Amino acid sequence: MSVHSKQELRALVERMNSGLAEGGADVIGDGFDAWQAFQDDNVFVLAAGGLVRDEVGRLLAIKRLGKWDLPKGKVEKGEGVDTGAVREVQEECGLRAVVLIKPVISTWHTYERKGKQHLKRTEWFLMRASSEEELTAQSEEDIEEVRWLDEAGVRMMEADTYPSLIPVLKAWRSL
């Protein structure tokens, strides 16, 4: 889809955010840099998280604000993305021993907070942890539950999670 101005791009984003235009769109700026214009309208957030497996191959998931999610969070200033991913998993799930294995996938999504649009890139890493460790939900981050999910649990999660996590779960299955 070709857009001819920042105003046209903003109108398209508004329609998509309101649900009037479903699905995604490949957008090309005709006479301007549409990607730069989109970035200019958003606060950039770098985040990292984990696709954490236990010794029997289950996936570690969290329930936050009533929706199933994966442990992740903002990378702190001066912190490596991989270090931030491990730290977030440890903090949100109460784990101590988390082993980072490899990068898996990157996702992008937008959201509004305090009247400002945010553009979040999340770097996802495959990790390993033991189900012998006690799981503790980080209540300060509105996490209600932490649980190891088998394949049936992952299917349940897919029915009640964010659209941006579907490609992450697909990548986890292909590992």
DSSP 71: -
Residue of 163, 94, 90, 78 lying closest to 127 (CA atoms)? 90
Residues in Cβ contact with 124 at an 8 Å cutoff, skipping those fewer than 6 apart: 48, 49, 50, 51, 70, 72, 85, 103, 104, 105, 106, 107, 168, 171
Tokens of 68: 């199933």
- Given pLDDT bands bounded at 50, 70 and 90, which one contains residue 18? confident
Asked whether residue 17 carries a pLDDT value surpassing 80, the answer given is no
CA distances (Å), 126 to each of 66, 71, 137, in order? Answer: 25, 12, 20
Domain range annotation of the chain = 2-40, 43-173
What pLDDT was estimated at residue 85?
A: 98
Query: How much is the mean pLDDT over the chain?
Result: 94
Residues 6+ apart with CB under 8 A from 152: none
Give the tens place of pLDDT for each residue, 72-114.
999 999 999 999 999 999 999 999 999 999 999 999 988 888 9
Give the tokens for residue 134.
Answer: 């006690």
Query: Does 43-173 carry CATH code 3.40.50.300?
Result: no
For residues 106 and 43, what is the distance between their CA atoms, to the nearest angstrom?
18
Confidence of residue 24 (pLDDT cuts 50, 70, 90): confident
- Percent of the chain scored above 90 by pLDDT? 82
At 84, which amino acid appears?
G
User: What is the reported pLDDT for 78?
Assistant: 97
Retrieve residue 109's tokens. 């999504």
